Each structure stands twice: as C-alpha cells, then as structure tokens.
Amino acid sequence: MDTQLNELRTLAARAQNRLTETGIPRVAMVQGAIPEHELAAVYQPMVNLILQGSKSMTVGERVLHYCPANYFVMSVDLPAIGTIWPAATGEPYLAVALTLDPAIIAGLLADLAENLPEPARTERAVAGFSVAAVTEELMDAWVRMLRLMDKPLDIAALAPAYEREILYRVLQGPHGAMLREIATPDTAMARVSRAITVIRRDFDQPLPVETLAEQAMMSVSAFHRHFKAVTAMSPLQYQKRIRLLRARTLLTAAGKSVTAAAFDVGYESATQFSREYAREFGLPPARDAARIVAGFRIA
C-alpha cells in the first residue's frame, strides 16, 4: 500500500492549514497544525483517513488513536476533542475525510441486499465511532477519488461511484454494522441520532431524559444505555458539551461577555458555567477566549 499512500499524500498536499474543500462532494482534506480550539468541535458523521502523522479523538471518556495504518469512522454528530501530531520524520499532519450521507448508504445497502449477509439481530448497542485497519482496496478507492481533483469534468460522473466503493469497503470491514445502523430506520443508533438532533436544536433548553427517550421511542433505561454506548456520554453530558462549545464560539467570534454567553447557552448560573467551562477546556472562559483571540491576531 506504500505506492497508494504516497500518491494520496501528493494529491492531498495541496490542502491548507484548515479543512479544505476538494471540489468533490462531501470530500475534504487538511494539512499541517490546526489550531487546538478548532479541533474541539461537533464532528459530523465521516470516514477519516490519516495520510501522514497521527491523530487522537477524545469522545466522552474514550480516546482513540489512529495513523496511516488505520482509519476512523464516526456515525453520529459528536462533540469531541481532536489532537494531531506530525510524522516522526517531521512531515506535517495530512488527512482526508468523507462526510457520510445516510441516504447514500441506504441506497447502497438496498442494491447489495443479496450480496451482503443480513447481520444477526442483537440487543447489543453499537458504538457510534471506532478505528479499524485500512485495507489496500479501501486505499485504492481513495486514490481514484482524489485523482478527480485534477479532472473536475469527471467529478459528476465518477465521484458517486467512487464514494459508493469507499462505503462498500467500509461495509465489508469492522465498521459495517455501524454504517448499517445509521442507514436503517428504527435501529437503536438511528433512534439515538433522532434524540441527538433534538439536543443540538434545543441545547439551551431543559431536556429531561424522559422527553428524549420518548423522541427515540425507547424506555428511559434502554435509551440511556444505547445513548451512552453510541456517544460515550450520557444525554446530559452530551448537552453540556454542546453548550460549552457554543459558548466558546460566542466568547471568541461574537465577543460576548462570560455572563451573556452562559445565559445564551442555557446556564442559570455564570459561576457554574465558568467552573464547567474550565473543567472542559483547561482555562476559565475569559482567559481561554483571550488566548484564542490573541492567536487569531498573531495568525
């Protein structure tokens, strides 16, 4: 796979020091040292392939590390903290990502109904993120996808086929169950995903777990168990992280005061907000915001 990996590195080396669009639908790439605060975000469902360097993703209490030997899949919107490192030989971090579209996965599953064995039914909750070893077939599909950057007239005709191939290779691997879950109605993950949509929309409002369980059409105990299995967080922890990430944006991009940001995201106490913010990001909100804004000015 070294030849494929080297070609992918050459193709993706045109990426900038931030998420860079490729012109191919749902495909983006990044190179270099991304500012730390930008790596603490709500990540969309994706397939993420590291080409150079390494990365860790902290989701709830779980930390996953991956490098060019493996790839990462996230199947639901998750607040997470990423950390990246350059290669041991000094080359900058380099990665590509495909945002997952459940409708495309569902269409692929329908077309492959006779070729993919039906998984055994289980009550075991499926995690919403994981890492697996990259295969030569998956790497090859990524090579053909990124080559389209140099042939933009071919994108409309060929990108959908290469996207389906990437998804097909993932379906064949350890992440296959995860992709099935997000594209199949009424699975536990699909129901948790509906609850996540509610939390993201109404994050600044009180959201009793009973209400969320009702949205997911589960008992409270089953909902709590599946939600934590998928996200590595309780519903309350998930909502809290969404609130804190939004508050950080209000402090840095909108110039809000600590008190105003706290109330805007649903806190009733600025003191509690400051305490939880410092626990999440390592600094009190005003100092953290000043550090980030100073970094913008230097850049």
When comparing pLDDT for 297 and 179, which is higher?
179
pLDDT digits (tens, 9 = 90+) for 129-159: 999 999 999 999 999 999 999 999 999 999 9
Residue 47: inside a domain: yes
When comparing pLDDT for 32 and 118, which is higher?
32
Residue 73: inside a domain: yes
pLDDT digits (tens, 9 = 90+) for 190-201: 999 999 999 999
DSSP-derived secondary structure for the chain: -HHHHHHHHHHHTT--SS-EE-SSTTEEEEES---GGGGEEEEPSEEEEEEESEEEEEETTEEEEE-TTEEEEE-S-EEEEEEEE--TTSPPPEEEEEE--HHHHHHHHHHTTTTSPPPPP--SPPPSEEEEE--HHHHHHHHHHHHGGG-GGGHHHHHHHHHHHHHHHHHHSTTHHHHHHHHSTTSHHHHHHHHHHHHHHSTTS---HHHHHHHTTS-HHHHHHHHHHHHSS-HHHHHHHHHHHHHHHHHHTS---HHHHHHHTT-S-HHHHHHHHHHHHSS-HHHHHHHHHHHHHH-
What pLDDT score does 174 carry?
A: 87
What pLDDT score does 120 carry?
A: 43
User: With 50 as the cut, is the pLDDT of residue 88 above it?
Assistant: yes
Q: List the domain range (segments joined by +) for residue 197.
A: 188-233
Mean of the pLDDT values across residues 42-65? Answer: 94
Domain tally, the chain: 3
Residue 162 shares a structural domain with residue 53: yes
How far apart CA 62 and CA 28 sit, in angstroms, is 25
Q: Which residue among 163, 183, 203 closes a domain? A: 183
Residue 13 shares a structural domain with residue 143: yes
Residue 56: inside a domain: yes
User: With 90 as the cut, is the pLDDT of residue 35 above it?
Assistant: no
Residue 162 shares a structural domain with residue 264: no
What pLDDT score does 115 carry?
A: 64
What pLDDT score does 61 carry?
A: 86
Residue 194: inside a domain: yes
Residue 100 shares a structural domain with residue 27: yes
What pLDDT score does 299 carry?
A: 46
Q: How confident is the model at residue 78 (pLDDT cuts 50, 70, 90)?
A: very high
Residue 145 shares a structural domain with residue 46: yes
User: With 90 as the cut, is the pLDDT of residue 41 above it?
Assistant: yes
Residue 137 shares a structural domain with residue 158: yes
Q: Is the pTM of this model over 0.85?
A: yes
Residue 238: inside a domain: no
Residue 16 shares a structural domain with residue 110: yes
Is there a contact between 188 and 126 (Cβ–Cβ < 8 Å)?
yes
Residue 93 shares a structural domain with residue 212: no
How far apart CA 167 and CA 13 sit, in angstroms, is 24
Residue 26 shares a structural domain with residue 68: yes
CATH number for the domain that contains residue 259: 1.10.10.60
Mean of the pLDDT values across residues 47-75? Answer: 93
How far apart CA 187 and CA 199 sit, in angstroms, is 19
Identity of residue 296: F
Mean of the pLDDT values across residues 105-120? Answer: 75
Residue 49: inside a domain: yes
User: With 50 as the cut, is the pLDDT of residue 123 above it?
Assistant: no
Mean of the pLDDT values across residues 257-265? Answer: 98
CATH number for the domain that contains residue 168: 2.60.120
Residue 9 shares a structural domain with residue 42: yes
Residue 20 shares a structural domain with residue 41: yes
pLDDT digits (tens, 9 = 90+) for 268-282: 999 999 999 999 999
User: With 80 as the cut, is the pLDDT of residue 122 above it?
Assistant: no
Within 10 A of 12 (CB to CB), how many other CB atoms are there? Answer: 22
Residue 178: inside a domain: yes
Residue 45 shares a structural domain with residue 109: yes
